[in-house]
Structure 1
Amino acid sequence: MRLFKFIIVVFLSFTSCKAQNVPTGINDKIETLQNLIKKAEKKGIDVLKEKTTIRTAEIFLKFANWDEKNVETNVTFFKKVPSYKADAEKLAQDLPAFERKEIYLMLDKAESNLRKLISKEIYRKPSPNVDWTKVNVEGDQITYNNRPVFLTDYTWKPDGKLYNEYHGNQDGFFLTPSQVIDSNGTVNPRVINELDSKADGSIGFIFMNHKNVPDWTTKKYGEGFKMREDTYTAYDIDNPGARELQKYLLGAVVPKMAGKKYTQLGYMLCNEPHFYAYSDKTKKKKPWASGPVSEYTIAKFKDWLQHKHHGISELNRIWRTNFTSFETITANIPLDISLKGTPIWYDWVAFNMDRVTEWYTFLKDEVKTHDPEAKVHLKIMPNLWTNNMRAHGIDFEALTDLSDIIGNDSGADHKYTWGKPHEWQKKYAFEWRELCMGYDFLKSVSSDKINFNSELHYLSTVRSRDLYLDPSYARATFWLAHSYGMTASQIWFWPRKADGEVTDRAGKGYAGSNNQQPRVTNEVAMTLIDLNTNAEAIMAMQRQRKPIRLFYSKTSAINNGNHMDNQFKMYEALHFEGTPLGFVTQNIIKKQDNSNWNVVVVYNTPNVTKGELQSLQNYLDNGGTVILDNKSLLKDEYGQALLELKASKGILIMLNSVLEIKNKVLSILKDKNSLPEVKVEETNTIGTKGCIWKVIKNEAGNNVLSVVNVGKSDATLNITLNGSDAIICKDLIDGIEVSKTPVLKPFDVYFVEITKN
C-alpha cells in the first residue's frame, strides 16, 4: 500500500510539471528535506550532502523552467547529435519533465538517507565544506585544515553563491596573444587594469591560450607566422617572433599575478597541445589537425639531425640517401604515414617531440623568470599516449617531467552517439584504458606532484554521451580517477548562464550532457564529499608503491603502429589483481630509486635505442629482475640488430605468453611478500575480470579495500584476509557492516574497512 501511495504522489507531481514552473511535489520535497536537516544538525549529523542536493535542485529547477520556455532552442541542439537527431522534437519537449523527475528522485534519495542517519540505521563521518580561498598545494596533495582534499569545478560555470557554494569555486585568468596590441609589445591596458584590481581570490589556474594571433604579427614576423589555425596553437612556434610575442605578454602580466591564490593550480602553458605533421595518401582527406611546418622548423630539423648523426655519411647510411651535407637535406614534410618504421620517420617524429618540448621549456622558463614560485603544467590529452599514434609532437614523459603539476584532460567513454562499436564494449561498461593506464604512467613519471585534470571528460565528450546516464557511472569514474592519482579537476562542461539560458559555447556537445542531468551532476558532488571524508585513505592509494613495472619504449611506440595496443594487453592482464601497476623508462630507471619496484616486464617491444637497452642492463647489473619475451629488444630505432641483455647480477626470465608472464609476476611478488593481505575473487557472466580493486592499510593498521566494477555484468565477490573469511567488512560511507560476498552491479563502488571477526 505504501508503494502504491508513493507511485500516485510521484505521478501527480510529474503530470503537474507542464502546468507549473516549480512542481508542488518538488517544493514539498525540498521543504521536508530542509526540516530534516534542522533536526539532523541538532543531533550533530553532518548534512553537507543534503544542503548540496537542495542547491542542485534549485539550480536545475531554473534550467527546467528555461527549457520549458525554449523548446525550439533545445530542438536545434538535439539535432546536432546523430543519435538524437530523429527524435529531437520529442526530446526537447520532454526535457523539462525529465529534469524535474530527476530532481524529485534525487531529493527523495537524499530524504531517505537522512532519515536513516537520524534513526541510526546508517552513520556518517563529517566531511569538510572546503573553502577554496583557504586551500594550498603542498607536494602531491591539496591541503585544507591540515587534511588532504580533492577539488572539482566546471568549465564556464557562472559565478555567484548559487553556483559556487557547493559546486566548485575555481578562480583564474585567461591569457591570449591578441592581448598584445601592437608590434612594440604593448599589452592591452584593460588587461593590466583588470589584473591590478583583481583580488587574491580562490585557488585557480592561468589559462594560456595560443589562438587569436594579432594581425600585426604578420607584418613583423612574416606571412607564415600565422599557421595551423585549426589547432590550439595558431602560429609557428619555431619562428623567433613566437618567443618575442610571449615575452611581451608574460613579462607584462606574470609579475602582477605572482603569489596570488588564483595562480596556485599553475600556469597552463597550452590547451590540448598537438602538432601533427604527417600525411596519408590512402585517404582523401588530410589527417585530423595535421599541418605544415615552416622553414624555421626545417632548419631546426637539420641541426637536430647533425647532432644525432654527427656526420652526413652516417645519416646517408641509415637513411639510404646520398646528401652531400646536412644543409642539402630535403624531406617532404609532412611525411606520409606509409614511411612509419623507416629511419626518416623515426627521426622526424622524435625531432617533432623534441622541438615541442623545447618550446614549452622556454615558456616555463619565461613564466618563472617573473614568478620563481610559479607552477606550470600542460593540458595534455592522455590518449596521445595510451593510443598508438606518435606523430603529434607530444612527448608525454618529457612534458610531465618538465611540469610542476601533472596536467591532463583525461576522459572515459561510455555510450557512443555515432559510429561502430569498439572492442572494449564486449567486456566493459565503460572504456577505462585512458583513465587508469594514463594515470599510472603519469604517476610513475612524477609521483610527487598533484594531478590536475583541467578538462575532465568522464561525463561526456562530443561523441560519448547519454541523456539517461546512470548517476553511478559518475561515481565510478570519479572514484577511480582519484584513487589513481587525480587531485583536482575542471569538468567538461557548464554551457548555461545563471538563469539557465544555453550559451553560444554549447556547440555539438551540449545535448544529453550534464547540464540536463540533475542526478549525474549531484552524484559528482556527493562523490567528492565522500572522497574528502576519506581523503587520507584515497591519498594512501595514490601513493602506493608500484611493485610491477612495464617497460615503455618511446622508440617502439614511434616505429610500430600497434605498440600501445600490445602494451595494453599486458597491462589489462595484470590490472585486476589488486597490485598497483606502474611503468619504467630509460629515464625512470636512471632517475628513480630502483627498489621502488620488484620486477620489470618487457613485452612486445621490438625497438629500443642503445640508451634504453643500457638502462635495462644497468638495472640487471644492480640486481634487478626482468621478464622478457622473444619479440622484444631486437633492433634499435633504425632497425639495426642489438646486443642481448645479460642477467649479470640480476635475474633475467624469458617468457612469451601474457598468461605465463602474469603468473610469473604474481609468483615473484608472493615470494617478495609484496602481494596484498586481502584477496578478492570475482565471478561474473562475462568470464573475464571486471572489478578493479586497491587495498591499503589505514592508521589503525586495518586494510581498506576499494572496488569498482567496470565490467558489463554483475560481479559476485568473495573477500578473504590472509586466506581467512572470518572477517568483518564495514562500509566506510554508511558506517555499517556489509557483506563480504557482495554482488556489484556495473559502476558500483564498494569501499570498506576489513577487520578480523
Structure 2
Amino acid sequence: MNPILFRIAIAGLSLLSMIASSNDSIAADAAAASADNPYVKEALTNIDTLEASMQEARAKEIDVTREETVVWFAKEFLKFADWDEDNQDAVAYLFEQYAPYKEDKDKLAAEIPDFQRKMVVKILNDGIAELSSVIRGDIQRRPVNKVDWQNIEVGDNMLLSNGKPIFLYDYFSKSVGRPLTDTNVYNDHLGAIFHGGENLYPAEHDRAINSFLLKQDRTFDQELLREVTEISDSNVGFLIYWNQGIAEWVEKLEPEVRKGRSTFTGFDIDNPLVREVWGTIARETGALTKGKKVTQLGYILANEPHWHSIASGWTRRTGEMQQISSYTLNQFREWLRKKYDGDLDRLNKNWVSQFTGFDAVEIEIPISAQTRGTPMFYDWARYSMDRAIDWYTHIQGELRKGNPDADTHVKNSTHLYTDNNRAHGIDLEALTELTSMIGDDAKARPTRRSYPNEPEAWEEHYAYCWEELSMSYDFMDSVSPRKIHVNSESHFLSASRWRKLDLSVEYVESVYWLATLQGMDANMAWFWARDPDGSPEDRLEGELNFADLALAGSFVGSTNQQPHIANAYTQVMYDLNSFSEEIIALRKQRRPLRLFHSETSAINKNSHMTEQFSIYEKLFFEGIPMGFATENIIKKQDNRSWDGILVYKTEWVTESELNALQSYLDQGGTLIVDSEKSLSKNEYGQPHDKRLKQSKGNLIVLKGNESVSQVRDVALAEVAESRPDVTLAEENGSDHKGCHWLAVKQDDGSYLMSILNIGKNNAKLKLGLKDGTRISVTDLFTGKSVEPEFDLNSKGVSLLEIKSL
C-alpha cells in the first residue's frame, strides 16, 4: 500500500489545548452508555494503545499532530454513533429526505451507528500501525505545518502562515449558530476559518450581508447590522453577500422586482432600486468591515449565480427566469442597438423578424432550446452574460468605495463553464478577471449522479469524475495566473446529486492533491452539521421544509456520518501543508501549450465543451500543466508565457477573436488549427470574409481528418522544448492514460515530481530522463528510496525526488 495512502487513513491534527475538557467528559459518558458494544470496546482499547504510543513518540521528539486528530475524531464519532442509536426515528427521517435512501431509511438508520464505530476502529488501527512504523524508523515523515489561524498573510499569489505557503481548510455552513470561540467546532481538526455567511436559511440569517439590512428610510437595521459588525475578528475568514431575498418595502415600490429571479438571486438585477439598495449595502458594509481578519479571504459577491433561461421543467418548478422585467427588456433593446450599430435591417435579417424599431424588439423568455445556434439565441445568451458582468462590476465598485482594498470573488459554479449549456448568464472568464481572487464551488465525484443514475463516460477509464474540477481550474488560472484561489464550498466529499457512504480515503487524498496542485489555496468542504453532542445542527432538527430542497437531504451519506472521511480530509490537508513549498514549485510552472477557448462557439454549439474536453483530456496526462488562451488573454498577457496555441473544433468566433489570433501570429506565435472549418464563421454563423495569415508566426492548419490523438501529437511536437526532462511510461492494461504528472527542476539539479493515478486501473510506471542518465528516486512521503519502476494503485498519490547518477 502506498505509504501516503496508509497515512491518510490514520493521520491526525494536533488537539488544541483550549478545547474544553467538558468535550472529553461528554465523549466518556457516551462511550460508557454503549460500553457493551464490541466495536466500542475495541475502539476504547485502541485509543489507549494509540495514546501510549503518542507519549512514546513525543519522548523521541516525533510530531504526533496526525495522531491527535485521529483520537479526536474517534472520540467524536463514538459520541455521534451513540446519539444516532438513541434517536433512530430522527435519523430515519433524515435518510428519508434524500430520495435514493428513502426506501431503506429504517434499515440505514439502524445500521449507521455500528458503521461509524467500525470506521472509528479502522482509523485507530491504521493510526497505531503507522505511528509504530515511525517510531521504529521504518518511515520518516515531515512534521505537520500547522495553520496559524489568527495570523494569516495574504500574499501576491498565495496564502502564508509563519512565512510558508499554507492551504486553508474548513467546512462551509458549519454547525450553524456556533460562535468562533466554540473550540469543539472551530479547531485544527475541523478548521477554524470564520464563516461570514453560514446560516443560509432563512434569508434573514445572521452574519451574511443581505438586503434586509437596509430600511426604506435608507437607514440600517441596527440589530441585523450588529451581526456583521460585532463578529469576532480573531481568525482569518470571509463575508458573503447573500442575495436570495429582497425586503418587502422594495417589492411594494417595485412590483416587477421578482421578475427574472433565479435560485440564489431573488430579484431583478436590472432594477434601479435594487441597484441603489445593494450599492448602499456594499459600500457601507465595506467601510464597516475594512481591515478585519474576517475579510482576509475576501467578500463573496454572490452564491452560485446563474440565470437559466432555456425553458425546462426544473426552472418552471423553481420559478427561475420565467419572465423578464421591463427594465431587462429595455436594456436588452439598448444592448442590441449598440451591437448592431443601429442597423435595424441587419437585426431583422438575423432574427428573421419585422421589428419597426429597436424599442419594439420582443423576445420570449424562457427561450426555446430549439433556437440554439440562431442569431436571436446568441444575442440573448451574450447579453445575459454582459448584464451579470455589469451587476457585479457595480457591486464591487460600490464595495470598494467603502473599502478600497477589499478582496473579492464570486462563488462560481464551474460546471456552468464545463457543461454545454450557455443560456445561464455566467461568463467565467469575465467574472474571474473582474474580481481580485478566484472563486468557485467546483465539484468532483467518485460515483455517478444519483439521478438519472445512468452510466457516464468517465466510468470507462477513471476512478472519479475530474472533468469539471481540472478543466475549470486550469482555465481560471490561465485567465488570472497570480490570484489566490478560494473554493468556498468544495463538493468533493458529497453533493446534492451524489452520496457515497463507503467513500474511500484514497479518493479523498487524490482529489484534494489534484485540486491543490491545480491552484486551490483555501477550501470549505460541504458541510459540517453536527453539534458537539452529536445531534444535527438546529436547522436539521424537526420538520425540514426548505426553499432549497437539497439542504434537507444533505446530512445523510455525508462526512457527518463517516469518521474515516472526516479524518481523511484533515489528514490530506496536513500532508499538503507539510509539502506546501513543493506544491507551489510544481504549480507555478509555465503552461507552454494553450487551448483556445471561445464563448462564441460555446454559446452556439450543442456540444462544444464536450469536444473541448476530448482534446484537453488527451493533453492532461503528458507532464505539462495545461493552459488556455482567449481573445483577452492574448491581448492582455505576455504572449511569451506560452509556446503555442491549439484551436480545436472552434468554428464560431467573432471578428475580434479572429483579429486577436492574427495579432498573435503577427508577433511570431505558433498556432495549430485542427481544420479549415475552425475559425470559419462569425457569431451569427456567417462565413468570415478573411482567413488567418502566417505572417511572422507559424500557422499549422491540419487536414481535419486527424484523430484527437494525432492532433495532440502535433501540438506536443510544437512545444517539445518546454516539456520536462523527466519521462514517465505508463502501462495500465488499456490504451488510455490515467496518471497525471508534473515535474520541475530544482536549484540543486534534482527534479521534484508528482504523480496522481486518477485512472480506474493500477498502473506500472517507469521513470527516466530524456538523456538516458541513470537516476535515483526517493519517496518524499516516507524518505525511502524506490526503484525507477514501480506500481501505483488507482487513486494513488506519489511525490518524488529524482536525481541523476
- TM-score, normalised via structure 2 length: 0.89
Question: CA 1:729/1:660 → structure 2, altered by over 3 Å: closer, same or farther?
Answer: same
Q: For 1:709-743, what per-residue CA distance to the aligned partner results, in whole angstroms no more than 9, with x for missing partners? A: 11111111111123537322211112112232222
Q: How does 1:479-490 map to 2 (within 5 A)?
A: 479-490=513-524
Q: Deviations over 1:473-526 (max 9, x none)?
A: 100100000000000001001122221112334511221111111111111111
CA contact (8 A) 1:177 1:214 kept: no
Q: Decide whether the 8 Å contact of 1:172 with 1:263 is kept in 2.
A: no
Match of 1:518 in 2: 563
User: Which residue identity is paired with 1:254?
Assistant: G
CA change 1:86–1:324 in 2 (3 A) is: closer
Equivalent residue, structure 1, for 2:717: 667
> Which residue does 2:686 correspond to in 1?
640
Asked whether the equivalents of residues 265 and 375 of structure 1 are also in contact (C-alpha less than 8 Å), the reply is: yes
Q: CA contact under 8 A between 1:186 and 1:248: conserved in structure 2?
A: no
- One-letter amino acid of the counterpart of residue 746, structure 1: S
2:606 pairs, out of 546, 555, 561, with 561
Note if contact 2:510-2:796 (Cα within 8 Å) is conserved in structure 1: yes
Of residues 285, 306, 313 in structure 2, which corresponds to 1:274? 306
Q: Specify the alignment match of 2:770 in structure 1.
A: 722
- CA 1:287/1:254 → structure 2, altered by over 3 Å: closer, same or farther? closer
For 1:248-287, what aligned pairs fall within 5 Å after superposition?
248-279=280-311
Residue 75 of structure 1: how far off its partner (Å): 1.6
Report the counterpart of residue 596 of structure 2 in structure 1: 551
The whole-number CA distance in structure 1 between the counterparts of 2:261 and 2:89 is 33
* 1:124 partner letter: R
Match of 2:485 in 1: 451
Partner of residue 533, structure 1 = 578
Is 1:169 aligned with 2:192?
A: yes
Secondary structure, counterpart of 2:722 in structure 1? coil
In the alignment, residue 187 of structure 2 is paired with which amino acid?
E
Map of 2:18 onto structure 1: none
Q: Please tell me whether the aligned partners of residues 277 and 334 of structure 1 are also in contact (alpha carbons under 8 angstroms).
A: yes
User: What aligned pairs does 1:358-757 form with structure 2 within 5 A after superposition?
Assistant: 358-416=390-448, 417-418=450-451, 419-503=453-537, 504-505=539-540, 507-630=552-675, 631-642=677-688, 643-655=690-702, 656=704, 657=706, 658-670=708-720, 673-724=721-772, 726-757=774-805
Q: What SS does structure 2 have at the residue aligned with 1:191? A: helix
Structure 2 residue aligned with 1:246: 278
Q: Separation in 2 of the partners of 1:197 and 1:85?
A: 42
- Unaligned ranges ≥5, structure 2: 1-30, 197-206, 541-550
- 3-state SS of 1:278 partner: coil
Q: CA deviation at 1:551?
A: 0.4
**Larger deviation: 419-428 or 471-480?**
419-428
- Deviation at residue 592 of structure 1 after TM alignment: 0.3
> Which of 128, 151, 154 is the aligned partner of 1:134?
151
CA contact (8 A) 1:196 1:256 kept: yes
Where does residue 330 of structure 2 map in the other structure? Answer: 299
Number of aligned residue pairs: give it.
Answer: 740
Could you tell me whether the CA contact under 8 Å between 1:78 and 1:84 is conserved in 2? Answer: yes
Query: SS where residue 494 of structure 1 aligns?
Result: coil
Q: Would you say the 8 A contact 2:309–2:366 is kept in 1?
A: yes
Alpha-carbon deviation of 1:357?
Answer: 0.5
2:96 aligned partner, one-letter code: K
Per the TM alignment, residue 580 of structure 1 is displaced from its structure 2 partner at its CA by 1.2
Paired letter, 2:216? S
Moved more, 623-632 or 660-669: 660-669
Summarize the Cα distance change of 1:654–1:287 in structure 2 as closer, same or farther, 3 Å threshold.
farther
Aligned mates of 1:594, 1:214 — CA distance in 2: 48
CA contact (8 A) 1:59 1:162 kept: no
SS of corresponding position for 1:129: coil
Query: 2:194 corresponds to which letter in structure 1?
Result: D
Distance in structure 2 (CA, Å) of the matches to 1:287 and 1:437? 29
Q: CA RMSD in A?
A: 2.1
**1:251-289 CA-partner distances (Å, limit 9, x unpaired):** 4422221100010100100000001222259x9967994
Given candidates 78, 102, 105, the residue that maps to 1:88 is 105
Q: Secondary structure at the match of 2:104?
A: helix
Identity among equivalent positions (%) equals 38
2:244 to 211, 217, 234: 211
Normalized against structure 1, the TM-score is what? Answer: 0.94
Question: In structure 2, what is the Cα distance between the partners aligned to 1:576 and 1:710?
Answer: 10
Using the alignment, how far apart are the partners of 2:247 and 2:353 within structure 1? 42
Following the alignment from structure 2 to structure 1, what is the Cα–Cα distance between the partners of residues 726 and 648?
A: 28
CA apart distance, 1:669: 2.0
Contact 1:279/1:286, CA 8 A, preserved across alignment:
no
| 1:290 to 1:212, Cα distance in 2 relative to 1, 3 A | closer
Where relative contact order (Cα < 8 A, 6+ residues apart) is larger, the structure is: 2
Matches within 5 A, 1:46-57: 46-57=63-74
Structure 1 equivalent of residue 350 of structure 2? 318
Distance in 1, Cα, partners of 2:727 & 2:319: 45
| Greater displacement, 304-313 / 717-726 | 717-726
Deviations 1:94-151 (A, max 9, x none): 1111111111110111111111111111111222221111112111100011110001
- CA drift of 1:156 comes to 2.6
1:544 is paired with a residue of what secondary structure? coil
Q: Where does residue 60 of structure 1 map in the other structure? A: 77
Q: 1:116 to 1:288 in 2, by over 3 A?
A: farther
Contact 1:21–1:65 (8 Å) recurs in 2: no
1:214 deviation in Å?
A: 1.5
- Look up the SS of the partner of 2:256 in the other structure: coil
Q: CA deviation at 1:79?
A: 2.9
For residues 363-393 of structure 1, the C-alpha deviation after alignment (integer angstroms, 9 at most, x for no partner) is 1011111011101110001110011111000
- Indicate conservation of the 8 Å contact 1:228/1:291, yes or no: yes
Q: Give the corresponding residue for 1:335.
A: 367
Q: Distance in 1 between matches of 2:265 and 2:158?
A: 31
Matched, 1:185 2:253: no
Question: 2:286–2:406: 8 Å Cα contact kept in structure 1?
Answer: no
